[in-house]
A = this chain, B = another copy of it.
Amino acid sequence: MAMVCLSDFEAYAKKYLPKITWDYFAAGADECTTRDENILAYKRIRFRPRMLRDVSVMDIRTKILGSEISFPVGIAPTGFHQLAWPDGEKSTARAARAMDTCYIASTYSTCSLEEISAAAPGGLRWFQLYIHRNRAASQQLVQRAEAAGFRGLVLTADLPYTGKRRDDVRNGFRLPPHMKVKNLEGAFEVCKMSPSFHSLLDPSVTWNDIHWLRSLTCLPIIIKGILTREDAELAVRHGVQGIIVSNHGGRQLDEGPATIDALVEVVEAVQGRVEVYVDGGIRKGSDVLKALALGAKCVFVGRPALWGLAYKGEEGLQDVLRILQDEFRLSMALAG
Contacts and interface: CB of A to CB of B under 8 A. Distances in A.
Interface of A: 2, 4-5, 30-31, 33, 43, 45-57, 157-158, 160-161, 163-164, 166, 169-170, 197, 202-207, 209-210, 223, 225-228, 230-231, 234, 247, 252-257, 284, 286, 326-327, 330-331, 333-335
Nearest to A284: B30
Contacts of A4: 166, 169-170
A225 B256 CA distance: 30
A176 B115 CA distance: 52
25 contacts: A2-B169, A4-B169, A5-B166, A30-B327, A33-B43, A47-B253, A49-B228, A50-B228, A51-B157, A51-B158, A51-B225, A51-B226, A52-B206, A54-B203, A54-B204, A55-B160, A56-B160, A161-B333, A161-B334, A164-B327, A164-B330, A197-B330, A203-B333, A253-B334, A255-B286
Given A56-B202, A163-B330, 7 more contacts: A48-B256, A50-B228, A52-B207, A55-B204, A161-B333, A197-B330, A255-B286
A226 B336 CA distance: 12
Given A157-B51, A231-B51, A334-B158, A45 B166 contact: no
Please classify the interface of chain A as helix (H, G, I), strand (E, B), loop, or mixed, using the class held by over half of its residues.
Answer: loop
Contacts of A284: 30-31, 254
Contacts of A50: 228, 230-231
A326 to B, nearest CB: 7
A225 B331 CA distance: 16
A223 B52 CA distance: 10
A4 B207 CA distance: 33
- Give the oligomeric copy count: 4
Contact of A255 (B43, B166, B253): B43
A7 to B, nearest CB: 9
A234 B52 CA distance: 10
A182 to B, nearest CB: 27
A39 B311 CA distance: 37
B49 A333 contact: no
Contacts of A210: 52
A255 B45 contact: yes
Contacts of A327: 30, 164
A160 B333 contact: yes
A207 B286 CA distance: 25
Nearest to A202: B56
A47 B157 CA distance: 16
B334 A163 contact: yes
